[in-house]
Amino acid sequence: MLYLLYGLDGFTKKEYFEKLAETNSAELLSYGSNTLPSIDELLAPNLFAKHTVYILQNCLSSIDTEKYLEKLKESNNLFVLAEDKLDKRTKLSASLLKDKNIQSVSFNAPSLHELPKWIKNRLEKISTSIEPEALSELLSRIIPDQSRFGFESQEPDLWQLNSELNKLATFCENKAITLEAVKQLTPQTVPTIVWDIINAVSGKNHTELAILLEQYLQDQSGGDDKAKIIQLNSALAEQFRGIAISLDATQNNIPDLEVLKVTGWKQGRLFMVNKNAKSFNLK
């Protein structure tokens, strides 16, 4: 039997894999394009092997579908073509999606607008809930508004969010998650204050820099000061890497469109990086 799962919601997709294996009392084996054995090997009968669900992660382009598609559909084992991105305009994709003998499921990550509903549904599965004020605070801590830095708000990390929800539910003993619990257990994300620090450094504003560092150490809950500084250094290193990319592009006359293509940045981010890069040099 053959499945086609596509979309960037790897968290929910993984749950689907596990449920599929559990429902069919099967072993779960996963391969990527770099680890995929020959399809003939996977299709070969083995009297001593357990019923198996084979997850083929982003392997569609590596499979000779003309040769193997029907064999995969007819196999006693379950084969799952798990694609992060599927171009529905291609002839192959259109054919797979129309095939009634292939179960196709889309896994799109929830948008920021849909995230509150996703959180409530996750909590329902573990028989708990969250107070409205706590939900707002949790979202602001997990996904800060970065529009003032020229960024679009970042996509939610569902793995991190699910971990936070489980932690909060345990702390609240599966009663409604409170605002106090969120403030106590869920730290503020680092990137927002990082750009303020970068601005202070680029402007050589030592007083503002000292105030921001003190604010950062006070605002970040959990862990000692050493751990907080390590986390901050990591975030700053990523931003200074961006500044180095901007300086190198300027020095070598690389156009902004090429930088956007290579880095995958949004236009707003490149604008902010270029602006801050003017206060630095590669020496």
**Rounded distance between C-alpha atoms, residue 6 and residue 58, angstroms:** 9
Low-confidence winner among 9-18, 114-123, 194-203 (lowest mean pLDDT): 194-203
**Rounded distance between C-alpha atoms, residue 283 and residue 280, angstroms:** 9
Q: Could you tell me the pLDDT band of residue 223, with boundaries at 50, 70 and 90? A: low
Mean pLDDT of 24-50: 89
Comparing CA positions, the residue from 164, 121, 20 lying closest to residue 78 is 20
pLDDT tens readout for residues 81-122: 999 999 999 999 999 999 999 999 999 888 878 899 999 999
Tokens 């054995």, located at residue: 37
The answer to whether 231 and 215 are in contact (CB under 8 A) is: no
Q: What is the DSSP letter of 252?
A: T
**Rounded distance between C-alpha atoms, residue 270 and residue 247, angstroms:** 12
Start-to-end CA distance of the chain, whole Å, equals 59
Q: Could you tell me the pLDDT band of residue 241, with boundaries at 50, 70 and 90? A: confident
**Rounded distance between C-alpha atoms, residue 52 and residue 243, angstroms:** 48
Mean pLDDT of 218-231: 68
Is the pLDDT assigned to residue 6 strictly greater than 90? yes
Average of per-residue pLDDT values in the chain:
85
The answer to whether 88 and 60 are in contact (CB under 8 A) is: no
CA 267 to chain centre: 20
Surface-to-core class of residue 150, CB atoms within 10 Å of its CB (0-12 exposed, 13-18 middle, 19+ buried) = middle
pTM of the predicted protein model: 0.60
3-state DSSP assignment of residue 118: helix
Which pLDDT belongs to residue 41?
93
The answer to whether 134 and 182 are in contact (CB under 8 A) is: yes
